[in-house]
Amino acid sequence: MAEIRYTKDHEYIRIEGDEGVVGISDHAQRQLGDVVFAEVPPVGKALKAGEPAAVVESVKAASDVFAPVSGEVVAVNSEIENAPGAINEDALGRGWLFRIKIADPREAAALMDEAAYAAYLETQA
Residue range 25-34, pLDDT digits in tens: 999 999 999 9
Residue 108: pLDDT over 80: yes
CATH number of the domain residue 84 falls in:
2.40.50.100
Residue 2: pLDDT over 80: no
Give yes or no for a contact between 22 and 13, defined as CB atoms under 8 angstroms apart. Answer: yes
Question: What band does 59 get if pLDDT is binned at 50, 70 and 90?
Answer: very high
Convert the pLDDT of each residue in 64-100 to its tens digit.
999 999 999 999 999 998 999 999 999 999 999 999 9
Q: Which domain holds residue 116?
A: 3-123
Q: CA–CA separation, 119 vs 115, rounded Å? A: 6
* The amino acid at 6: Y
Residue 1: pLDDT over 70: no
- Give the 3-state secondary structure percentages of the chain, helix then strand then coil, rounded to 5: 25, 40, 40
The structural domain count of the chain equals 1
Is pTM beyond 0.85 here? yes
For the chain, percent of residues with pLDDT exceeding 90? 94
* The amino acid at 104: D
Q: CA–CA separation, 122 vs 88, rounded Å? A: 21
Q: CA–CA separation, 72 vs 50, rounded Å? A: 14
What does the pLDDT read at residue 81? Answer: 87
Q: CA–CA separation, 105 vs 75, rounded Å? A: 19
Bridge partners, 20 (sequence order)? 15, 100
Q: CA–CA separation, 115 vs 72, rounded Å? A: 28
How much is the average pLDDT of 2-6? 92
Residue 78: helix, strand or coil by DSSP? coil
